[in-house]
Amino acid sequence: MTTNMAASCSLVCCGEESDSDKAVIVRFSNGSVKNADKLDFTMYKNADESNPRKKSRRIMAAESDRLCYVGNNFGTGSLKCNNLCKYYVGVLNRQTMQMEVHSAQLFNMQPVIPGDATETAKPQDATQTYRDKVDSLIEAFGTNKQKRALSSRRLNEVGGDTLHQAVAKAANTVIDQKGLEALQQEVAETEIQGDLALHLPPCNAGADKPENVYLFDDLLSPVELGALEQAGSKMAALTSEELKKMRDDAGCLCVVKHLENMPTVGEARDKAARCAFYLSMLLKLARQKSITRKFGQEEGCPRIIQSKLLRTFTVETFNNGRVQNIVSASMRSKLAAYALALLLHMNRMTGDLTLLHRDLGITEARMIEVAKSMGLTLIKQARAKAYEAELRDTNRHASLVLPLVKYDQFMERRKRKKMH
Protein backbone atom coordinates (compact mmCIF):
# COMPACT_ATOMS: atom_id res chain seq x y z
CA MET A 1 0.00 0.00 0.00
CA THR A 2 1.37 3.40 -0.98
CA THR A 3 -0.03 6.78 0.11
CA ASN A 4 1.13 10.05 -1.50
CA MET A 5 2.08 12.87 0.88
CA ALA A 6 2.25 16.35 -0.67
CA ALA A 7 3.43 14.73 -3.92
CA SER A 8 6.98 14.51 -2.51
CA CYS A 9 6.80 11.66 0.08
CA SER A 10 4.99 8.33 0.26
CA LEU A 11 4.19 5.84 3.06
CA VAL A 12 5.15 2.21 2.64
CA CYS A 13 3.58 -0.32 5.04
CA CYS A 14 5.94 -3.16 5.80
CA GLY A 15 4.73 -6.73 5.86
CA GLU A 16 4.02 -8.90 8.87
CA GLU A 17 6.77 -8.41 11.46
CA SER A 18 7.88 -10.63 14.33
CA ASP A 19 8.51 -9.45 17.90
CA SER A 20 12.23 -9.20 17.24
CA ASP A 21 11.62 -6.86 14.27
CA LYS A 22 9.54 -4.37 16.21
CA ALA A 23 10.93 -0.90 16.74
CA VAL A 24 11.65 0.20 20.29
CA ILE A 25 10.43 3.41 21.89
CA VAL A 26 11.86 4.25 25.30
CA ARG A 27 10.57 6.70 27.86
CA PHE A 28 12.63 7.76 30.88
CA SER A 29 10.67 8.04 34.10
CA ASN A 30 12.92 10.69 35.67
CA GLY A 31 12.84 13.14 32.74
CA SER A 32 14.06 13.59 29.19
CA VAL A 33 17.61 12.75 28.03
CA LYS A 34 19.58 15.60 26.49
CA ASN A 35 22.45 13.59 25.01
CA ALA A 36 20.95 10.34 23.73
CA ASP A 37 24.06 9.62 21.71
CA LYS A 38 26.01 8.97 24.89
CA LEU A 39 23.71 6.11 25.96
CA ASP A 40 24.47 2.52 25.08
CA PHE A 41 21.27 0.48 24.55
CA THR A 42 21.15 -3.29 24.86
CA MET A 43 18.13 -5.55 24.27
CA TYR A 44 17.76 -8.87 26.09
CA LYS A 45 15.18 -11.51 25.29
CA ASN A 46 14.01 -14.60 27.11
CA ALA A 47 15.92 -17.75 26.20
CA ASP A 48 12.84 -20.00 26.50
CA GLU A 49 11.49 -19.76 22.97
CA SER A 50 9.17 -22.74 23.41
CA ASN A 51 7.12 -21.08 26.15
CA PRO A 52 4.47 -18.92 24.45
CA ARG A 53 4.18 -16.64 27.48
CA LYS A 54 7.92 -16.08 27.95
CA LYS A 55 9.23 -15.90 24.40
CA SER A 56 7.95 -12.32 23.92
CA ARG A 57 9.54 -10.99 27.12
CA ARG A 58 12.19 -8.31 26.54
CA ILE A 59 14.48 -6.29 28.81
CA MET A 60 15.94 -2.98 27.59
CA ALA A 61 19.08 -1.64 29.29
CA ALA A 62 20.61 1.83 28.77
CA GLU A 63 24.00 2.66 30.22
CA SER A 64 25.69 6.03 30.62
CA ASP A 65 28.72 7.30 32.45
CA ARG A 66 26.70 8.32 35.46
CA LEU A 67 23.63 6.02 35.66
CA CYS A 68 22.01 2.91 34.28
CA TYR A 69 18.40 2.54 33.17
CA VAL A 70 16.37 -0.66 32.86
CA GLY A 71 12.92 -1.26 31.37
CA ASN A 72 10.93 -4.38 30.50
CA ASN A 73 7.65 -5.33 28.85
CA PHE A 74 6.50 -7.71 31.60
CA GLY A 75 6.01 -7.64 35.33
CA THR A 76 4.90 -4.82 37.61
CA GLY A 77 7.15 -2.16 36.02
CA SER A 78 5.90 -2.68 32.46
CA LEU A 79 3.52 -0.35 30.64
CA LYS A 80 -0.04 -1.63 30.31
CA CYS A 81 -0.53 0.37 27.11
CA ASN A 82 1.38 -2.31 25.12
CA ASN A 83 -1.53 -4.68 25.69
CA LEU A 84 -4.29 -2.13 25.04
CA CYS A 85 -3.17 -0.62 21.72
CA LYS A 86 -0.55 -0.86 18.95
CA TYR A 87 2.19 1.65 18.23
CA TYR A 88 3.88 2.34 14.93
CA VAL A 89 7.08 4.21 14.00
CA GLY A 90 7.71 5.84 10.62
CA VAL A 91 11.30 5.79 9.16
CA LEU A 92 11.91 8.25 6.29
CA ASN A 93 14.36 7.38 3.53
CA ARG A 94 15.52 10.78 2.27
CA GLN A 95 16.91 9.39 -0.96
CA THR A 96 13.76 7.62 -2.11
CA MET A 97 11.45 9.90 -0.05
CA GLN A 98 9.53 6.87 1.20
CA MET A 99 8.54 6.41 4.87
CA GLU A 100 8.46 2.83 6.09
CA VAL A 101 5.93 2.13 8.91
CA HIS A 102 7.07 -0.41 11.50
CA SER A 103 5.38 -1.87 14.59
CA ALA A 104 6.77 -0.60 17.87
CA GLN A 105 6.62 -1.27 21.58
CA LEU A 106 7.19 1.06 24.52
CA PHE A 107 9.59 0.61 27.41
CA ASN A 108 9.51 2.62 30.62
CA MET A 109 13.12 3.16 31.59
CA GLN A 110 13.75 3.45 35.32
CA PRO A 111 17.09 4.35 36.91
CA VAL A 112 18.96 1.61 38.73
CA ILE A 113 21.20 2.68 41.60
CA PRO A 114 24.26 0.46 42.06
CA GLY A 115 24.16 -1.53 45.27
CA ASP A 116 20.39 -1.23 45.66
CA ALA A 117 19.08 -4.77 45.85
CA THR A 118 15.75 -5.44 44.19
CA GLU A 119 12.85 -6.65 46.27
CA THR A 120 12.39 -10.36 46.13
CA ALA A 121 8.93 -11.77 45.82
CA LYS A 122 7.47 -12.71 49.15
CA PRO A 123 6.72 -16.42 49.42
CA GLN A 124 3.04 -17.20 49.69
CA ASP A 125 1.88 -18.14 53.14
CA ALA A 126 0.75 -21.75 53.02
CA THR A 127 -1.49 -21.24 56.07
CA GLN A 128 -3.69 -18.66 54.33
CA THR A 129 -7.31 -19.70 53.86
CA TYR A 130 -9.33 -19.21 50.71
CA ARG A 131 -11.06 -16.22 52.31
CA ASP A 132 -7.71 -14.58 53.11
CA LYS A 133 -6.50 -15.05 49.54
CA VAL A 134 -9.69 -13.52 48.13
CA ASP A 135 -9.36 -10.58 50.54
CA SER A 136 -5.79 -10.02 49.36
CA LEU A 137 -6.94 -9.96 45.74
CA ILE A 138 -9.70 -7.47 46.61
CA GLU A 139 -7.20 -5.21 48.36
CA ALA A 140 -4.94 -5.25 45.30
CA PHE A 141 -7.34 -5.31 42.35
CA GLY A 142 -10.86 -4.92 43.77
CA THR A 143 -13.30 -2.15 42.94
CA ASN A 144 -14.12 0.62 45.39
CA LYS A 145 -17.40 -1.11 46.25
CA GLN A 146 -15.63 -4.40 47.01
CA LYS A 147 -13.03 -2.61 49.14
CA ARG A 148 -15.75 -0.84 51.15
CA ALA A 149 -17.54 -4.15 51.71
CA LEU A 150 -14.27 -5.77 52.84
CA SER A 151 -13.56 -2.94 55.28
CA SER A 152 -17.10 -3.08 56.65
CA ARG A 153 -16.89 -6.86 57.16
CA ARG A 154 -13.60 -6.59 59.02
CA LEU A 155 -15.02 -3.86 61.27
CA ASN A 156 -18.02 -6.06 62.02
CA GLU A 157 -15.74 -8.96 62.90
CA VAL A 158 -13.82 -6.77 65.33
CA GLY A 159 -17.08 -5.46 66.81
CA GLY A 160 -18.46 -8.99 67.09
CA ASP A 161 -15.38 -10.22 68.95
CA THR A 162 -15.61 -7.27 71.33
CA LEU A 163 -19.31 -7.97 71.90
CA HIS A 164 -18.69 -11.66 72.60
CA GLN A 165 -16.00 -10.79 75.13
CA ALA A 166 -18.29 -8.28 76.87
CA VAL A 167 -21.19 -10.78 76.97
CA ALA A 168 -18.95 -13.53 78.33
CA LYS A 169 -17.63 -11.21 81.03
CA ALA A 170 -21.15 -10.11 82.02
CA ALA A 171 -22.38 -13.73 82.08
CA ASN A 172 -19.54 -14.78 84.36
CA THR A 173 -20.35 -11.89 86.70
CA VAL A 174 -24.05 -12.86 86.90
CA ILE A 175 -23.20 -16.53 87.46
CA ASP A 176 -20.86 -15.59 90.31
CA GLN A 177 -23.54 -13.42 91.92
CA LYS A 178 -26.64 -15.66 91.59
CA GLY A 179 -25.21 -19.12 91.14
CA LEU A 180 -25.60 -21.53 88.24
CA GLU A 181 -28.56 -23.50 89.65
CA ALA A 182 -30.66 -20.39 90.31
CA LEU A 183 -30.03 -19.13 86.77
CA GLN A 184 -30.99 -22.48 85.24
CA GLN A 185 -34.24 -22.43 87.18
CA GLU A 186 -35.05 -18.90 85.99
CA VAL A 187 -34.33 -19.85 82.37
CA ALA A 188 -36.60 -22.89 82.61
CA GLU A 189 -39.41 -20.79 84.10
CA THR A 190 -39.03 -18.22 81.36
CA GLU A 191 -39.17 -20.87 78.62
CA ILE A 192 -42.32 -22.42 80.10
CA GLN A 193 -44.13 -19.12 80.48
CA GLY A 194 -42.71 -17.54 77.32
CA ASP A 195 -45.32 -18.92 74.89
CA LEU A 196 -48.26 -17.81 77.02
CA ALA A 197 -46.74 -14.44 77.93
CA LEU A 198 -46.72 -13.45 74.27
CA HIS A 199 -50.52 -13.84 74.10
CA LEU A 200 -51.59 -12.21 77.36
CA PRO A 201 -53.43 -8.86 77.48
CA PRO A 202 -51.33 -5.82 78.46
CA CYS A 203 -50.59 -6.18 82.17
CA ASN A 204 -49.80 -3.50 84.76
CA ALA A 205 -48.45 -5.58 87.62
CA GLY A 206 -47.78 -2.48 89.75
CA ALA A 207 -51.39 -1.23 89.69
CA ASP A 208 -52.97 -0.08 92.94
CA LYS A 209 -56.41 -1.54 92.11
CA PRO A 210 -57.32 -4.98 90.69
CA GLU A 211 -59.36 -3.45 87.86
CA ASN A 212 -56.29 -1.51 86.70
CA VAL A 213 -54.10 -4.60 86.21
CA TYR A 214 -55.82 -5.60 82.96
CA LEU A 215 -57.46 -2.39 81.80
CA PHE A 216 -60.90 -2.66 80.25
CA ASP A 217 -59.94 -0.21 77.50
CA ASP A 218 -57.20 -2.62 76.37
CA LEU A 219 -59.88 -5.27 75.85
CA LEU A 220 -62.58 -3.02 74.35
CA SER A 221 -61.85 0.56 73.42
CA PRO A 222 -64.54 3.24 73.91
CA VAL A 223 -65.10 3.35 70.14
CA GLU A 224 -65.53 -0.45 69.94
CA LEU A 225 -67.82 -0.45 72.98
CA GLY A 226 -69.95 2.24 71.36
CA ALA A 227 -70.24 0.20 68.16
CA LEU A 228 -71.79 -2.65 70.16
CA GLU A 229 -74.85 -0.62 71.17
CA GLN A 230 -77.30 -2.30 68.78
CA ALA A 231 -75.89 -5.81 69.28
CA GLY A 232 -75.96 -5.33 73.08
CA SER A 233 -79.59 -4.22 72.98
CA LYS A 234 -80.55 -7.45 71.22
CA MET A 235 -78.57 -9.45 73.76
CA ALA A 236 -80.31 -7.72 76.67
CA ALA A 237 -83.74 -8.37 75.14
CA LEU A 238 -83.38 -12.16 75.07
CA THR A 239 -86.25 -14.01 76.74
CA SER A 240 -85.91 -16.84 79.23
CA GLU A 241 -86.83 -19.36 76.50
CA GLU A 242 -84.04 -18.06 74.27
CA LEU A 243 -81.57 -18.21 77.14
CA LYS A 244 -82.62 -21.81 77.83
CA LYS A 245 -82.03 -22.66 74.16
CA MET A 246 -78.54 -21.11 74.35
CA ARG A 247 -77.81 -23.20 77.44
CA ASP A 248 -78.97 -26.39 75.75
CA ASP A 249 -76.91 -25.70 72.63
CA ALA A 250 -73.83 -25.27 74.85
CA GLY A 251 -70.81 -23.22 73.84
CA CYS A 252 -72.00 -20.03 75.61
CA LEU A 253 -72.56 -21.11 79.22
CA CYS A 254 -70.53 -18.16 80.52
CA VAL A 255 -72.64 -15.74 78.51
CA VAL A 256 -75.94 -17.28 79.69
CA LYS A 257 -74.84 -17.18 83.32
CA HIS A 258 -73.86 -13.54 82.95
CA LEU A 259 -77.13 -12.57 81.23
CA GLU A 260 -79.14 -14.23 83.98
CA ASN A 261 -77.37 -12.12 86.62
CA MET A 262 -77.26 -8.77 84.77
CA PRO A 263 -78.36 -5.53 86.42
CA THR A 264 -82.01 -4.84 85.73
CA VAL A 265 -81.79 -1.22 84.54
CA GLY A 266 -79.37 1.60 83.91
CA GLU A 267 -76.07 2.11 82.21
CA ALA A 268 -74.54 -0.90 83.98
CA ARG A 269 -77.04 -3.22 82.27
CA ASP A 270 -76.26 -1.71 78.85
CA LYS A 271 -72.52 -2.18 79.33
CA ALA A 272 -72.95 -5.71 80.64
CA ALA A 273 -75.04 -6.66 77.58
CA ARG A 274 -72.41 -5.30 75.18
CA CYS A 275 -69.66 -7.20 77.00
CA ALA A 276 -71.76 -10.36 76.87
CA PHE A 277 -72.11 -10.06 73.08
CA TYR A 278 -68.37 -9.50 72.63
CA LEU A 279 -67.64 -12.48 74.88
CA SER A 280 -69.97 -14.64 72.76
CA MET A 281 -67.99 -13.64 69.65
CA LEU A 282 -64.73 -14.63 71.35
CA LEU A 283 -66.15 -18.02 72.33
CA LYS A 284 -67.52 -18.64 68.84
CA LEU A 285 -64.21 -17.69 67.25
CA ALA A 286 -62.31 -20.12 69.50
CA ARG A 287 -64.39 -23.04 68.20
CA GLN A 288 -63.64 -22.24 64.55
CA LYS A 289 -60.73 -23.49 62.45
CA SER A 290 -60.96 -21.38 59.32
CA ILE A 291 -62.51 -17.90 59.40
CA THR A 292 -64.17 -16.11 56.50
CA ARG A 293 -65.03 -12.46 56.06
CA LYS A 294 -68.68 -13.28 56.80
CA PHE A 295 -67.89 -14.25 60.39
CA GLY A 296 -70.41 -12.72 62.85
CA GLN A 297 -72.74 -11.26 60.22
CA GLU A 298 -75.65 -13.48 61.28
CA GLU A 299 -75.36 -12.23 64.87
CA GLY A 300 -75.14 -8.60 63.74
CA CYS A 301 -71.47 -8.15 64.65
CA PRO A 302 -70.27 -4.62 63.77
CA ARG A 303 -67.62 -4.30 61.10
CA ILE A 304 -65.09 -2.74 63.48
CA ILE A 305 -65.44 -5.69 65.89
CA GLN A 306 -65.14 -8.22 63.07
CA SER A 307 -61.93 -6.59 61.84
CA LYS A 308 -60.55 -6.53 65.40
CA LEU A 309 -61.23 -10.25 65.87
CA LEU A 310 -59.60 -11.22 62.57
CA ARG A 311 -56.61 -8.96 63.16
CA THR A 312 -55.98 -9.91 66.79
CA PHE A 313 -56.95 -13.57 67.12
CA THR A 314 -56.23 -15.17 63.73
CA VAL A 315 -53.19 -15.84 61.58
CA GLU A 316 -53.05 -15.63 57.79
CA THR A 317 -52.04 -18.69 55.76
CA PHE A 318 -51.79 -19.38 52.02
CA ASN A 319 -53.86 -22.37 50.94
CA ASN A 320 -55.07 -23.45 47.50
CA GLY A 321 -54.03 -20.18 45.93
CA ARG A 322 -55.79 -17.87 48.38
CA VAL A 323 -55.19 -16.32 51.79
CA GLN A 324 -57.11 -17.80 54.75
CA ASN A 325 -57.51 -16.74 58.37
CA ILE A 326 -57.19 -19.63 60.81
CA VAL A 327 -57.27 -19.96 64.59
CA SER A 328 -54.08 -21.74 65.66
CA ALA A 329 -53.40 -23.36 69.03
CA SER A 330 -51.50 -20.30 70.24
CA MET A 331 -54.38 -18.06 69.16
CA ARG A 332 -56.79 -20.20 71.23
CA SER A 333 -54.60 -19.56 74.26
CA LYS A 334 -54.74 -15.85 73.45
CA LEU A 335 -58.54 -16.00 73.16
CA ALA A 336 -58.69 -17.77 76.52
CA ALA A 337 -56.59 -15.05 78.18
CA TYR A 338 -58.63 -12.17 76.73
CA ALA A 339 -61.94 -13.89 77.50
CA LEU A 340 -60.84 -14.51 81.10
CA ALA A 341 -59.72 -10.89 81.51
CA LEU A 342 -63.13 -9.74 80.20
CA LEU A 343 -64.92 -12.08 82.61
CA LEU A 344 -62.99 -10.56 85.52
CA HIS A 345 -64.40 -7.11 84.68
CA MET A 346 -67.90 -8.53 84.18
CA ASN A 347 -68.02 -10.44 87.48
CA ARG A 348 -66.18 -8.37 90.13
CA MET A 349 -62.69 -9.68 89.35
CA THR A 350 -63.71 -13.36 89.51
CA GLY A 351 -64.11 -15.83 86.65
CA ASP A 352 -65.50 -19.36 86.35
CA LEU A 353 -62.68 -21.43 84.80
CA THR A 354 -64.77 -24.57 84.46
CA LEU A 355 -67.48 -22.97 82.33
CA LEU A 356 -64.95 -20.97 80.34
CA HIS A 357 -62.75 -23.92 79.30
CA ARG A 358 -65.86 -25.83 78.20
CA ASP A 359 -67.07 -22.91 76.10
CA LEU A 360 -63.63 -22.42 74.54
CA GLY A 361 -63.18 -26.11 73.76
CA ILE A 362 -59.81 -26.41 75.54
CA THR A 363 -58.75 -28.64 78.43
CA GLU A 364 -59.06 -27.58 82.04
CA ALA A 365 -55.31 -27.96 82.51
CA ARG A 366 -54.68 -25.50 79.68
CA MET A 367 -57.18 -23.06 81.17
CA ILE A 368 -55.45 -23.26 84.55
CA GLU A 369 -52.08 -22.57 82.88
CA VAL A 370 -53.54 -19.41 81.33
CA ALA A 371 -54.92 -18.27 84.69
CA LYS A 372 -51.58 -18.90 86.39
CA SER A 373 -49.67 -17.02 83.71
CA MET A 374 -51.99 -14.06 84.36
CA GLY A 375 -51.10 -14.18 88.09
CA LEU A 376 -54.63 -15.03 89.24
CA THR A 377 -55.53 -16.74 92.52
CA LEU A 378 -57.13 -20.15 91.99
CA ILE A 379 -60.18 -20.99 94.11
CA LYS A 380 -61.61 -24.46 94.46
CA GLN A 381 -64.44 -25.25 96.82
CA ALA A 382 -63.71 -27.72 99.60
CA ARG A 383 -65.25 -31.17 99.42
CA ALA A 384 -68.63 -31.55 101.05
CA LYS A 385 -71.09 -34.29 101.85
CA ALA A 386 -73.27 -35.71 99.12
CA TYR A 387 -76.41 -33.75 99.96
CA GLU A 388 -74.42 -30.51 100.34
CA ALA A 389 -72.48 -31.01 97.09
CA GLU A 390 -75.71 -30.85 95.07
CA LEU A 391 -76.38 -27.32 96.34
CA ARG A 392 -72.80 -26.03 96.30
CA ASP A 393 -70.98 -24.77 93.19
CA THR A 394 -68.16 -27.23 92.50
CA ASN A 395 -66.68 -25.30 89.60
CA ARG A 396 -63.14 -23.98 89.77
CA HIS A 397 -62.80 -20.19 89.91
CA ALA A 398 -59.97 -17.67 89.59
CA SER A 399 -59.88 -14.20 91.07
CA LEU A 400 -57.54 -11.25 90.67
CA VAL A 401 -56.01 -10.34 94.02
CA LEU A 402 -53.12 -7.95 94.56
CA PRO A 403 -50.26 -8.63 94.59
CA LEU A 404 -50.34 -11.04 91.66
CA VAL A 405 -49.38 -14.63 92.39
CA LYS A 406 -46.13 -15.98 90.94
CA TYR A 407 -46.41 -19.74 90.60
CA ASP A 408 -43.50 -22.15 90.84
CA GLN A 409 -43.63 -24.14 87.63
CA PHE A 410 -41.44 -26.94 88.98
CA MET A 411 -43.58 -27.64 92.02
CA GLU A 412 -46.82 -27.64 90.03
CA ARG A 413 -45.83 -30.40 87.62
CA ARG A 414 -47.86 -33.54 88.05
CA LYS A 415 -46.40 -36.97 87.70
CA ARG A 416 -48.26 -39.74 85.91
CA LYS A 417 -49.57 -42.48 88.11
CA LYS A 418 -48.22 -45.92 87.43
CA MET A 419 -50.75 -48.52 86.29
CA HIS A 420 -50.63 -51.76 88.27
Residue 61 bridge partners (DSSP): 42, 70
Predicted local distance difference test score (pLDDT) of residue 121: 47
Question: Alpha carbon of 231 to those of 222, 274, 360, 374, 387: distances in Å?
Answer: 15, 7, 21, 29, 41
Predicted local distance difference test score (pLDDT) of residue 79: 72
Question: Above 50 in pLDDT, residue 415?
Answer: no
Amino acid at 109: M
Predicted local distance difference test score (pLDDT) of residue 413: 46
pTM: 0.53
- Which of 418, 402, 355, 4 minimizes the C-alpha distance to 213? 402
Residue 91 bridge partners (DSSP): 100
User: Is the bond preceding residue 52 a cis peptide, omega within 30 degrees?
Assistant: no
Is 336 buried (19+), middle (13-18) or exposed (0-12) by CB count in 10 A? buried
Question: Above 70 in pLDDT, residue 184?
Answer: no
Return the sign of the alpha-carbon dihedral for residues 94, 99, 103, 107.
positive
Question: Above 70 in pLDDT, residue 86?
Answer: yes
Per-residue pLDDT of 285-318, as tens digits, reads: 888 888 888 888 888 889 999 989 988 888 888 7
Residues 6+ apart with CB under 8 A from 306: 293, 295, 296, 297
Domains of the chain by residue range: 23-112, 197-399
Predicted local distance difference test score (pLDDT) of residue 177: 74
| pLDDT band with cut points at 50, 70 and 90 for residue 411 | very low
| pLDDT band with cut points at 50, 70 and 90 for residue 391 | very low
Specify the range with the lowest mean pLDDT, choosing from 321-325, 378-382, 395-399. Answer: 378-382
Which helix (H) or strand (E) segment holds residue 54: the answer is none
Per-residue pLDDT of 195-211, as tens digits, reads: 556 678 888 888 889 89
Compute CA 193 distance to the chain's CA centroid, rounded to the nearest angstrom.
24
Percent of the chain with pLDDT over 90: 7
Contact 167, 392 (CB under 8 A): no
Task: Tell me the mean pLDDT in the region 8-13.
Answer: 66
